[in-house]
Each structure stands twice: as C-alpha cells, then as structure tokens.
Amino acid sequence: MPEIRVTPLGAGQDVGRSCILVSIAGKNVMLDCGMHMGFNDDRRFPDFSYITQNGRLTDFLDCVIISHFHLDHCGALPYFSEMVGYDGPIYMTHPTQAICPILLEDYRKIAVDKKGEANFFTSQMIKDCMKKVVAVHLHQTVQVDDELEIKAYYAGHVLGAAMFQIKVGSESVVYTGDYNMTPDRHLGAAWIDKCRPNLLITESTYATTIRDSKRCRERDFLKKVHETVERGGKVLIPVFALGRAQELCILLETFWERMNLKVPIYFSTGLTEKANHYYKLFIPWTNQKIRKTFVQRNMFEFKHIKAFDRAFADNPGPMVVFATPGMLHAGQSLQIFRKWAGNEKNMVIMPGYCVQGTVGHKILSGQRKLEMEGRQVLEVKMQVEYMSFSAHADAKGIMQLVGQAEPESVLLVHGEAKKMEFLKQKIEQELRLLPEAKKPRLLHGTLIMKDSNFRLVSSEQALKELGLAEHQLRFTCRVHLHDTRKEQETALRVYSHLKSVLKDHCVQHLPDGSVTVESVLLQAAAPSEDPGTKVLLVSWTYQDEELGSFLTSLLKKGLPQAPS
Amino acid sequence: MAAHLKKRVYEEFTKVVQPQEEIATKKLRLTKPSKSAALHIDLCKATSPADALQYLLQFARKPVEAESVEGVVRILLEHYYKENDPSVRLKIASLLGLLSKTAGFSPDCIMDDAINILQNEKSHQVLAQLLDTLLAIGTKLPENQAIQMRLVDVACKHLTDTSHGVRNKCLQLLGNLGSLEKSVTKDAEGLAARDVQKIIGDYFSDQDPRVRTAAIKAMLQLHERGLKLHQTIYNQACKLLSDDYEQVRSAAVQLIWVVSQLYPESIVPIPSSNEEIRLVDDAFGKICHMVSDGSWVVRVQAAKLLGSMEQVSSHFLEQTLDKKLMSDLRRKRTAHERAKELYSSGEFSSGRKWGDDAPKEEVDTGAVNLIESGACGAFVHGLEDEMYEVRIAAVEALCMLAQSSPSFAEKCLDFLVDMFNDEIEEVRLQSIHTMRKISNNITLREDQLDTVLAVLEDSSRDIREALHELLCCTNVSTKEGIHLALVELLKNLTKYPTDRDSIWKCLKFLGSRHPTLVLPLVPELLSTHPFFDTAEPDMDDPAYIAVLVLIFNAAKTCPTMPALFSDHTFRHYAYLRDSLSHLVPALRLPGRKLVSSAVSPSIIPQEDPSQQFLQQSLERVYSLQHLDPQGAQELLEFTIRDLQRLGELQSELAGVADFSATYLRCQLLLIKALQEKLWNVAAPLYLKQSDLASAAAKQIMEETYKMEFMYSGVENKQVVIIHHMRLQAKALQLIVTARTTRGLDPLFGMCEKFLQEVDFFQRYFIADLPHLQDSFVDKLLDLMPRLMTSKPAEVVKILQTMLRQSAFLHLPLPEQIHKASATIIEPAGESDNPLRFTSGLVVALDVDATLEHVQDPQNTVKVQVLYPDGQAQMIHPKPADFRNPGPGRHRLITQVYLSHTAWTGCAMKL
C-alpha cells in the first residue's frame, strides 16, 4: 500500500501561512500557499527551500491547489511561482481566480508603497503568476496527469472557497481549506459526499467552541443598528473589504428593504467596488436565497448602500458606514472613528477579532480615553459593540463534516495545538474511525504469476487455464453409535434426524443406503465384533469443513430415541 | 358588476348545453371500425421493428373500448411471440398493461399468457415491463386470492434476477399484492407459506441502491395496505439510515417512523450500554439525527416526520432545542438563556459589552458530546438550515409538537421568535402562523414581545397582517408589554396607514384579553390629568381611535375603568359605538343611561329580538293587499327604512334585510307606477309624463338582476319570485311603450317577445307554479290561449288590468343569504393628490379590496376603471392576486395598469 506523507510548511498547529505538502503514491501536491500576517521578515512566507535545495520546484511538484482567496491561503503565490520559480499548474476555483489578484495587488501596495519594502513581488509578477492558474468548477473532476485527479467541493467560508479531493489510484486525500458548516446570508454550508478518503486534512480554528445560533447574533446586530439610527445616531462598522463585509451589507440591505428604512448606508470605496462586481457575477457560488432571486434582483446590487465620500462623515443626521480596515488601526475607519467618537448617540460595531495594540482592541477592552499620535487624547463617548461574525466551522461542524466524508483518518491543521488535542480525543471517541477496508477478509481464489504479471482469478478458472485437474481433499471420521438395529435402519434414522435438524440444507437418502448432506457423505457400517454398536462413516470435502465438523459433533451426541 | 355576472351566466349557460351533444355523437362513430383488425393489418404490414414500433405508438394514443380489448390483446400476444426485437416486445408488454387497466375489462384471461411469456423472456427490460403488466392485472383483481398468490410466486422467482429493474418490479409487485394474512397462503398443493415481509426484508441489503429503495417502498406499501409490520424490521431500517444513497436514507426514515408509530411502547436496548428505552424515543432520536444529514431531501423528510411523533417523551422532546455552547472548552450560555436571566433579574438590557457572553465554568472534556446520538439540538440545526424547505418543515414540526405539549411550546418560543427574522418571507410567515396556533399555551416575555413587535415594520403586508392576527390571541405578561405593543402598533399605523382596520381589530382583542393590564395605563393613554382638563383629541385621528378601541374593549370586563374617563371620552364612546359598532362593545356606563339605552337593545348579543323584528316587519307587509294604495305605499316605505337600518346595525342579518328591502322596493316602485294618474288620461297627453313609469320599470329590472346575482345562497324559491317580479316589470314596460308609441309594428314584436318570456317562465318554473296562486303569472297563464290570438292592443289592455289585480307575492326568506359586496380599501376615495401620469405611458395603481361572499372570484371579479372622460376599461385580475383569509371572504390585492391619452385622475369601480 503506497503511503501518504503530509508535511505542513505552515499552519500546522497555528493560523496563517497555510501551506501543506502532500505526497501520495509518488505524486507531490502543494495545498495552499499563504503568507503570515504577523511577520514582516522571511518568516512571512513558507520555507520553500524545504521542498528542494537545488533544482526547479516544477520538477518536484505535480500541482498547486489554492482553496480560497484569503491572503493566509494565497499570499505567497507570486513569490512562490515567480521569485522561487514554479511553472506547473495552479488550481483554484473561478471566483478565487477573479478575486485573488485584487487582494494580492492590495497586499503588494501596502508592503511596497506604504512600508517601502524592497525585493517584493511586482504587479507584473502577480499577472504572470495568474496566467499559470487553471480554474475548476465545483464537482468537476480534473485530470492533472494520468494518475492524479482533483475534485472541488463547496466549502462556504468565503465566495469561491472550496475543499479539494486529491486522488491517485485508489488513494485519496481531502483537504478542506477553511470551511463553514452553517449557512449565512450570502453563502451556503459546506458539503461533501461520502467519498471515504484515506485521509481528511481539516482546519480546526474553532476546535473547542460550539457556537450559538446565528439568528440571535444577527438579530442583536440589526436591533443595535436600528435603535441607533432611530435615535439619530451614526453607526460605524469597521470591516475588511471582502467576505464579512458583503455578509453584513446583505444583512443590512435586506433589513432596510424589509423595514422600509430611508437612512443612508455608505461603503468606503476602493477595493470593494471591484470585489462587489465579482460577487454579482458568481451567483452560483452563493446560497439558495440569492440563487433563487437573482433573476428578479441581484442581491449584490445594493439599493440602499452607496459609495462613501470623505465629506459625508460630517453630514448631519443618522447614517451607517462600512469602512476599512477592520481593526481601526489606520485609514478611513480610524478617521471616521475620530470624528464620531465624541458623541454618545453614535455607535461603533466591531464585527470581528482585533489584534492587540490596535485601537479596535483598546476600545473593546473598555478603554475610554485613547492617546492618539501627537499626544492628543481622544475621549470615546460613543457606544462600542462587539459582534462575532465568523465563518469557520465550530467543533460540531467539524465533526459533522468528518461524519459526512467518513475518512479513514483525520489530520487537524490550522488551529492551536492545545485545542486540537481536545478535538482529536473527540473524533477518536465518537466516530471510531477504524477503517473497514483494513479488516481481514476471506477470499477464495488463485494467484497466477505469469510473465511477471499477477492475476487473481477463481480457482475453477485457474484450473481450467492451467489444464490441471482438481484435487479433492476429504476428511473422514468415524462415529460410533449405539444401535442394535440393522445398518439400513440406522441410516434411515440418521436421515430423518438430520432432515429435522438441518432444514436449510439438502439432505438426501441415496438408494445404496448412504445419506448425503450437500457434499457430506454418511455411511453406516456394522463392525463385526460388536453388534450393539454401529459405525457411522462421515466424509466431507475441505470446502465443507464447517458443515462436516458440525455434523460429526451432532452425531456424536447420539440419535434421538426412535419411537419404536 | 351585476351586468358582468349576468353576462357570464348566460355565457356559461350556452357553453354547457351544446358541447355535450357533440361529444356523444363522436363517441358513437368511433366504435364502429374494428380496432383489432386494423391493428393486425398494421402490424403485419410492418417490415422493420421501427415500423412496428411506430404503429404501436400510434395505436396507444387512441382509447380502446372494453368490448374490443380482448381481441386486441390476442393479436398483440400473437405478435409478441413472433417478435424478435426486444423494444417492440417491450412496447407490446406495456400496451398489455395499459389495456388491462381498461374499465369493464376483466384481465384474468391474459394473465396466463403473460406469465407464460415471462418464463421464456430473456431481455431484462422486457421482463421488468411484463412484471409491471402483471402488477396492473393484479391490482385490477384485488379479490382473487389465487391469482394474487400466483403473481407473488412469479415475483419471488424473479427476485434473483441480475438486473435491478426486474428486482425492483418484483419487489413492487410483492408490496402491492403480497397477501396480508399468512394463514391464507397455506395452500393444499404444498406451496411453502411465504412470509412476504421476510422476503422483502432480505432485499434491504441488496447491492443496488435502487433495489434497496424499492424494498423499503414495498414494505411501506404493505403497511399502507394494512399489514402489521414486524418489529424486527426496525433494526434493519436503522442500519439503512447510514446508507450511501439519499433515496435509501429517505425511505428508511419513513420506515422507521412507521414502525415507531406501530410499536411506540416496546423497549429497545441502547447499543454499547445496558440501558433500554422506548422504541418511539429511540426512533425520535434517530430521525433527529437525520435532520443534519448531508442531503437536503432527507433533511426535509426527517424534519417533517418529527412533527407527527407525538408520543415521544417530553425529556427527549426538550432535548431537540438544546445546544450546549462552549468557547475554548468553557461552558457558555446561549443568547436565549442570557435574555431570560436578564429578564428574571429585573435588569433591563444594558447593551452588549465585550465579554458579556464571556464563558463561565470549565467544561469537563470527557462529558462533551459533539455528535449526539440522541435528539440533541435537532431543531436548532433544522431551523438554521441552508435550504428554506428544511426550515419550513422544521417550523411546521415545531408547531405540531408544541400544540400537543404546552411545556415544549414554552421552550420553543425563543426559537420561533428568532425565525421571525428569517431571510425568506415564506418562512417568516409560516413561523408567525405557527406562533398563532400555539398561542394558547404561551405567554410572551417582554424581550420576546420586543422582537415580535419589531417585525411590525416589515414592508410585506401579509407579514404585518399575520402578526396582527398573532397579537390578537397572544398573552402578554406585563403592562409595559401592552404599552409597548400599543406604541409599536401606532408606529405601524403611521408608517402604513392602510393597516388601519387590521390594527383596530388587533387592539380590540388585545384590550378584551388584558383588561387588568390596560387599567393602570388608562390615564396615560387618554392623557388625562387629575386637576386640569386637557385638550380634546381629534376624533378622526386613526391613532386616537385605536387607543379608544383598546380602552373600551378592556373596559367591558373592567367596571372600574369608566370612572377614569373624561367627559369627551364618553361622547367619543357614543360616537364610536355608533360608527364602529363592530369594534366597540356596549359598556355599562354609570349615569349614562341615555347613551347605552338608545343603542343597546338591538345589539345585546342575543340576536332573537332583531330576528323577531325582521320577521314582524315582513309580516306586516303581508297585509299590504288589504290597504288602500296610499297606506300600502307608506307601509312599504317604513318597512324598507327599518330593514335598511337593521341591516346596518346587525351585520349577520344584513344580507336578509337588504335582500327583502330590495324586493319591497321593487314592489313599491310597481305600486307607484300603477298609481300614476296618467293611466286614466288619454294617450297623447301623458307622453312626457310617462317617464316615471318607464323609469320604474327599468329600475325594477335592475334591482331584480341584483337580487338574483349579487347574493350568495339564493334558493330556487326566491329565484321564482324574482323572475316573477321581473316579468311584471316587463309587462309594465310593454304597457308604457304601447301607450306612448304610435303604430303597431314595434308593438307586435314586443308583444311576441313578452309572450315568449312568459312561456319561458312557465317552462322553467313549472314545479313552482302552484306556489304562485293568485299572482300575476297565475292569471296570465289562465288567459294565455286568449293572449296568443289577440292583437297587441288587446294584450296590453288585459295586462294592465291584470297588473292591478295581481296579488303581492310574499318572499320567503332563505336560510343563508349574504350580500356579495366589495370594498375598495385602496386607492382611498377622495384622495387629495390626483394620479398624474404622462399620456400614452402606463402607470401602475395598487388596488386592495375585500370581497365578501363572492363565489369563484377568480373568474367573476373584474376591475373597472372609469376615466374622467367617461371611458371605461375592464381589467381582469390574475388568479394569484386573490387571497382567501376566511370562509366567504376574499382579498384582492392587485395592480391595475392605467394608461390614457389626455386626462389625469380617474375613478375606480369593482
């Protein structure tokens, strides 16, 4: 049995820089090629030199698969393909292919233009890299080469996120990427069929969390926003441009529609416009509601949400503004925050996690006075709310997916080691993943070795092919019975006894006085020395060993008293 | 509208009569040529299998009569034996099945042949088709035990076939025909008693998923036919729940449900422990588990079935709403629990803080169960499902379970309230309706009420109205709750003024359900002050009326309340009591005898007095005959006025009162017309004055049409009298024309037409003629032979005398009569802003109307738009625009497209 070897170059037991090497039956596949947000040195990219010291990567890797467009899953791609050098195919879904370059370009701009880094990949490199991409559809089986095939499954999480099944011969691995098992306002739930892979590599971000119903969260969020704008306050929602932003937009848009509200909603421009355009195009990747209604109206064509202009922040009256970036550490969201922080009627809603040190983290931990640059002190009077809108599967979701796919073994990545320990225990305990295929099974057949070929055929066919006669192996056994009657009668008694016991078998009484049960032959004989006992000869073939031994033990117990 | 109705009735009338005859003649002709002969010739002609197939296909399109089936079957069989091509054989086999279904044909004669050819057939497809044919034959002969036995035998033989299609059909056959009682199967010939259940059960583990599905379906079929399934099947079915194929799982879920209904109380062991539980509980747990299946078809199926498992124990039921939350391995409370705690601690929402939901105690890692084998959280999953079909099914199931278990109803409330915010309107609506159905069992907490009321701002009218209905029958626990509801409803009213009626009605029930909670709110609501008089609110303000409706309905059962009213409140009460009597109940007001006594006698719930009054006034009219014309007129006028008033006051009698009033008005008009002096004057003189008489005739005609078509529940008795009245009007018309026109030519035609009408009347109502003693028609028919021969002038003379002499016919009151009516709610009349639209372009106008007692509104109702220049346009609304909120009521919400060349503004008519 060919072995499967998995080497995580990143995101093995942490989050960020997802990159996993899988060798399966001689084929090498790289899953994801991400960067790490936390580092600005060489550690931000996976160490590709592990793969090969000298020689091109193309010779070692059969293909690269990108699960979705988040930078921690695709951020190192131009570096990997253009600077390190890889010319093989890169597989990703259509939406990922469309949105990925926008994010890479944005990332490059911040790194090069803002931070002034040299030796970073260029715009041209991003373009060149994207030329190597092969887009795949959901559930489309792509033949990478003669033996290696991959297939994408829907994963939820973000638009175009996919799980991939990698198959070589009879060996298969499923890599989930990031996924979400509970549907939300614009995406459906991850789904996989019972493909029974040898190995399932799953993310485990929320390995120790079971989340509450999303409805309560949504209701709370909408209620907060609604109350604030009714009071005449302004609502600031700092978001990252893609993913959750669209989710919240749809949430607010439908709510505005339902409640017939007229308060303006703005979205800070830039990257989002382009991304929204792609969201409009990739309707098949969204959830049931959007798919069903887009003919009448595309849900991403927002009626109430308009582009934001810097000057709008000073407008009187209530409004809702989505602004980037999501942690309030710089840019437009911070500017607006400074303008509005002084009014207790206003509110800021943080829809996600904030890294320590950012303004977002400070206000969430209850700080009311913030030191801004230039020794200014900003007093925060506005309300601060936290709502978690995360699109990862929780512990239950992970278990559900594992249950759906029925893998032989599970590998947890993309999470914390401690939390994985818990989930590992649970998976072992509740799913009992003992591969059925490895259980010993009985098989009757003949292995024919001919011209360095192996063939497994049935014994009859083998005999026929080789022109051999079949040898029969028979067991014989004597059973002594106490019976004073004649042999014939004894045989008859044996016959009627067996007939009554073995209803499922064909019991026959042959004219020569012997009894047959299937292939088992019974003959009664009278030994000369003792007329009181009869000897019963039992003979059976090797194939009927079970029946034969059953019969002898049965007969050894003696015959039932005949009604004489 | 009457005109349409009339027109339609005539149209229908003509339609119905003619086609029947045509069809009859056609049928006769079709039977003549011999089908079998033609088919035989066709099939012999066929040179290739494709040709033969074509002929057979053509043949299959035409129906075959019972008597010729036998012959056709023989020929088909003959060809079957000769045929080499499997596709033709297949078609023949399917035709045999089709033919054996023909009514009046007994298929037992072809069964032997069918079984015969089955034994020699090699093609799997044809085999499957033949088995299908046998199935058709078998179902046609349900009484014949021997045949059924034989068929079952045949099916068992072919069960081992390698093709899944054949096995499928065999199982189907077994399911449909397998004998129900074992004793019958023991035949004298030594046929082994076949236990159909065991045979089918063996195929639960077939290698082909389609066969597995067919086996389960066959088992379900057996159950449907009344066979009691064995309990052993339960374990087999449970194994199938983890099948790879969704169809198998879906069918297995159904089978488990069936078994759980058959043996709810038997005990099954829990694997891997030595505990035992009731079978229905175990099945419930298993089906709950399927709510998180990978295939949505199975999920829908499972969610639906959960609703009907009422015997499940409450412990298991409540688990379905349970979901243990945790964050980093520490136990967390759900938002629902927090809301409840917040409420019970008396603290009001402080706004969420970072870490408000911070996890509390550590969770024992060993105790956390991530995949529950039991019912845990099934509904939590179901309600959050991606597919709205699953969510709707889950809501329905919740509803059914909550109706049977009050404690469960209380628990599921939070979840239902959450569903009010679903993204799909259908789901929201369904959950509101569900909540209404279980509202007897529940009391809303304030925070829940808050969420419920937030939906009042929904822009969908259906949702808002469903919510109003829900509020009508909910129990609110605190006075703040009532206040909140009122405030939100008033907000709703200002935002959507069209909801006025629905909101008033809602407040009426809200008030009468919670009198004690309203009591402390009264001073605030009426903004009365202990020392100062406050300004009198505007009586026409819908919001003020809404508040008054709430208070007055609460005051009905709370005698202390009126003491809090100020003077103008009493005045407003009197006004509202009169103008909105259906919303404002009669109150016992101290010192206000005048107000209450003036109105109450006729309103007190018992309806006998008003019914009596109606009877009396109608009886008075009997004596009409004996009064002089002047007196008769006066009496009629009074009675009509009384009846109209009665109709306004007593809505349930409105139909009868209106109906009789209309009839009396006709009579009054007739009398008046006959009383005209002009009859005595010589013809040329009253030429101009005859207007009155002819107008009266016309009006009577119109009214009679209204009576005939605008009321539902009019019986034949009444129709006779209405027609009779119309006949009188026609006679009157004839007389008037005769008097005013010169020359006899037009008169001839009219006379003839009138006589035809009389003839028509006689023919149609011949059975009712005995009731019409002494009436106009009675006399008319007596003189009929004479009239036929006499000249028009003479006819007119006879008619005139007869009209005067004829007795007034008493109109028997029908049991159930309702006036069909339509009220246009929107666009409201006398709107200040006229509709403006560019000439030549189209503008859409929303129309909202309530139709009462209209039968078949989809076809009969049309919208008429009258433009100011007198042009009228008829618009037929789409059937989908009609909703049916209650018996006899319809709601039309549609859009009318207006377009005109030159004018602005228009009128609307239904």
Q: In chain B, which residues have their Cβ closer than 8 Å to the Cβ of A256?
A: none
A369 Cα to chain B: minimum distance (Å) = 17
* Count of CB pairs separated by less than 8 Å, A with B: 115
Instruction: Give the residue from chain A lying closest to B455, CA to CA.
Output: A259
pLDDT exceeds cutoff 70 at B469: yes
Instruction: Give the residue from chain B lying closest to A415, CA to CA.
Output: B328
The DSSP annotation for A47-62 comes to: -GGGT-SSS-HHHH-S
Q: In chain A, which residues have their Cβ closer than 8 Å to the Cβ of B368?
A: 426
Q: In chain A, which residues have their Cβ closer than 8 Å to the Cβ of B353?
A: 366, 386
Asked if A97 and A280 touch (Cβ cutoff 8 Å), the reply is no
Q: Which residue has the tokens 């909670």?
A: B517
Asked if A515 and A522 touch (Cβ cutoff 8 Å), the reply is yes
- Interface check for B336 against chain A (CB to CB < 8 A): the answer is yes
Half-sphere exposure of A158 toward its Cβ, with a 13 Å CA cutoff? 24
Half-sphere exposure of A356 toward its Cβ, with a 13 Å CA cutoff? 1
What separation in angstroms does the CA of B236 have from each of A104, B180, B202, B281, B293? 55, 21, 9, 17, 19
CB contact under 8 A, B354 and A216: no
Condensed to tens digits (0 to 9), the pLDDT of residues A447-493 reads: 888 777 888 888 888 888 888 887 888 888 888 877 777 777 778 88
Report d(CA A140, CA A144) in Å as an integer.
Answer: 12
Condensed to tens digits (0 to 9), the pLDDT of residues B660-715 reads: 788 888 878 877 777 765 555 555 555 555 667 777 788 888 888 877 777 777 77
Q: In chain B, which residues have their Cβ closer than 8 Å to the Cβ of A253?
A: none
- Interface check for B325 against chain A (CB to CB < 8 A): the answer is yes
Condensed to tens digits (0 to 9), the pLDDT of residues A254-309 reads: 888 888 888 999 987 666 677 788 888 888 888 888 888 888 888 888 888 888 88
The SS3 call for residue A28 is strand
Asked if B890 and B880 touch (Cβ cutoff 8 Å), the reply is no
A246 Cα to chain B: minimum distance (Å) = 15
Given this model, what pLDDT does residue B33 score? 47
B514 Cα to chain A: minimum distance (Å) = 28
Give the end-to-end CA distance of chain B in Å, rounded to a whole number. 7
Report d(CA A315, CA A308) in Å as an integer.
Answer: 12
Contacts of A428 (CB under 8 A, 6+ apart): none
Q: In chain B, which residues have their Cβ closer than 8 Å to the Cβ of A214?
A: 384
CB contact under 8 A, B418 and A430: no
The neighbouring-strand residues paired with A236 are: A321, A348
- Residue B423 has its nearest CB partner, among A289, A386, A404, at A289
Report d(CA B107, CA B104) in Å as an integer.
Answer: 9
Two tokens at A450? 């001919």
Sort strands B882-886 and A133-136 into parallel, antiparallel or unpaired: unpaired
The SS3 call for residue B847 is strand
Q: pLDDT band for position A135 (50/70/90)?
A: very high
Q: In chain B, which residues have their Cβ closer than 8 Å to the Cβ of A222?
A: 421
Sign for the CA dihedral angle at A139, A140, A142, A146 comes to: positive
Which of B394, B429, B436 shows the shortest CA–CA distance to B415?
B394
Q: Is A299 exposed, middle or buried (0-12, 13-18, 19+ CB in 10 A)?
A: buried
Testing the interface with A: which of B247, B423, B449, B494 to mutate, by most A Cβ within 10 A?
A: B423
Two tokens at A408? 């032989």
Report d(CA A94, CA A134) in Å as an integer.
Answer: 9
Asked if B276 and B270 touch (Cβ cutoff 8 Å), the reply is yes
For A269, other C-beta atoms within 10 Å of its C-beta total: 15
Report d(CA A343, CA A340) in Å as an integer.
Answer: 6
Sort strands A515-517 and A520-525 into parallel, antiparallel or unpaired: antiparallel
A287 Cα to chain B: minimum distance (Å) = 7
- Interface check for B383 against chain A (CB to CB < 8 A): the answer is yes
**Rg of chain B over all Cα atoms, to the nearest angstrom:** 38
Q: pLDDT band for position A164 (50/70/90)?
A: very high
Q: pLDDT band for position B181 (50/70/90)?
A: low
Condensed to tens digits (0 to 9), the pLDDT of residues B584-620 reads: 888 776 654 444 333 334 444 444 567 777 777 777 7
In terms of average pLDDT, the best of A336-345, A351-360, B809-818, B850-859 is A336-345
Condensed to tens digits (0 to 9), the pLDDT of residues A509-518 reads: 887 778 888 7
Q: Which residue has the tokens 């019986």?
A: B715
CB contact under 8 A, A289 and B424: yes
Q: pLDDT band for position B327 (50/70/90)?
A: low
B275 Cα to chain A: minimum distance (Å) = 19
CB contact under 8 A, A208 and B352: no
- Interface check for B705 against chain A (CB to CB < 8 A): the answer is no
- Interface check for B527 against chain A (CB to CB < 8 A): the answer is no
pTM for this model (two decimals): 0.70
The DSSP annotation for B5-19 comes to: HHHHHHHHHHHHHHH
Helices B461-472, B425-437: inter-axial angle, 10-degree rounding: 10
CB contact under 8 A, A426 and B368: yes
Report d(CA B199, CA B167) in Å as an integer.
Answer: 12
Instruction: Give the residue from chain B lying closest to A191, CA to CA.
Output: B294
What are residue A113's phi and psi, to 5 degrees?
A: -75, -45
Contacts of B494 (CB under 8 A, 6+ apart): B543
pLDDT exceeds cutoff 90 at B830: no
CB contact under 8 A, A218 and B335: no
Amino acid at A125: M
Contacts of B767 (CB under 8 A, 6+ apart): none
Report d(CA B524, CA B520) in Å as an integer.
Answer: 8
Report d(CA B403, CA A453) in Å as an integer.
Answer: 70
What separation in angstroms does the CA of B581 have from each of B553, B575, B642, B844? 12, 9, 18, 35
Report d(CA B384, CA A182) in Å as an integer.
Answer: 7
- Residue B352 has its nearest CB partner, among A220, A365, A403, at A220
Instruction: Give the residue from chain A lying closest to B325, CA to CA.
Output: A210
Report d(CA A150, CA B102) in Å as an integer.
Answer: 55
Condensed to tens digits (0 to 9), the pLDDT of residues B411-453 reads: 888 888 888 888 888 898 889 888 888 887 778 888 888 888 8
Which of B121, B44, B126, B47 shows the shortest CA–CA distance to B88?
B126
Which of B854, B905, B859 shows the shortest CA–CA distance to B884?
B854
- Interface check for B454 against chain A (CB to CB < 8 A): the answer is yes
Contacts of A393 (CB under 8 A, 6+ apart): A179, A180, A181, A182, A190, A203, A206, A400, A401
What separation in angstroms does the CA of B703 have from each of B2, B651, B696? 10, 21, 10
Amino acid at A541: T
Q: Which residues of A are catalytic?
A: 203
- Residue B370 has its nearest CB partner, among A215, A385, A399, at A399
Reported ipTM: 0.73
Two tokens at A69? 């467009």
Contacts of A450 (CB under 8 A, 6+ apart): none
The DSSP annotation for B492-519 comes to: HHHH-GGGHHHHHHHHHHHHHH-HHHHG
Report d(CA B472, CA B647) in Å as an integer.
Answer: 27
- Interface check for B122 against chain A (CB to CB < 8 A): the answer is no
Report d(CA B303, CA B300) in Å as an integer.
Answer: 5
- Interface check for B328 against chain A (CB to CB < 8 A): the answer is yes
Sign for the CA dihedral angle at B279, B284, B287, B292 comes to: negative
CB contact under 8 A, A194 and B294: yes
By residue count, chain B amounts to: 910
- Average pLDDT of the residues in B890-907: 59
Report d(CA A76, CA B675) in Å as an integer.
Answer: 106
Report d(CA A467, CA B179) in Å as an integer.
Answer: 52
Amino acid at A288: Q
CB contact under 8 A, A422 and B329: yes
Contacts of B496 (CB under 8 A, 6+ apart): B461, B464
pLDDT exceeds cutoff 90 at A173: yes
Q: In chain A, which residues have their Cβ closer than 8 Å to the Cβ of B419?
A: 215
Condensed to tens digits (0 to 9), the pLDDT of residues B198-252 reads: 888 888 888 889 999 999 999 998 888 888 888 888 888 888 888 888 999 999 9
- Residue B384 has its nearest CB partner, among A214, A387, A399, at A214
Instruction: Give the residue from chain A lying closest to B372, CA to CA.
Output: A430
What are residue B642's phi and psi, to 5 degrees?
A: -60, -45
Report d(CA A49, CA A54) in Å as an integer.
Answer: 8
Testing the interface with A: which of B297, B379, B386, B458 to mutate, by most A Cβ within 10 A?
A: B386
For A458, other C-beta atoms within 10 Å of its C-beta total: 11
The DSSP annotation for B749-761 comes to: HHHHHHHHHHHHH
Angle at A531 between CA A526 and CA A536, to 5 degrees: 35
CB contact under 8 A, A219 and B421: yes
- Residue B365 has its nearest CB partner, among A189, A260, A425, at A425
CB contact under 8 A, A215 and B419: yes
Given this model, what pLDDT does residue B330 score? 60
Amino acid at B116: N
Report d(CA B12, CA B17) in Å as an integer.
Answer: 9
Q: Which residue has the tokens 């009326």?
A: B545
Before B868, cis peptide (omega within 30)?
no
Report d(CA B346, CA A538) in Å as an integer.
Answer: 88
- Residue A260 has its nearest CB partner, among B353, B354, B457, at B457
CB contact under 8 A, A216 and B418: yes
Report d(CA A513, CA A495) in Å as an integer.
Answer: 10
Two tokens at A414? 């993309």
The neighbouring-strand residues paired with B327 are: B330
Which of A554, A550, A520 shows the shortest CA–CA distance to A537?
A520
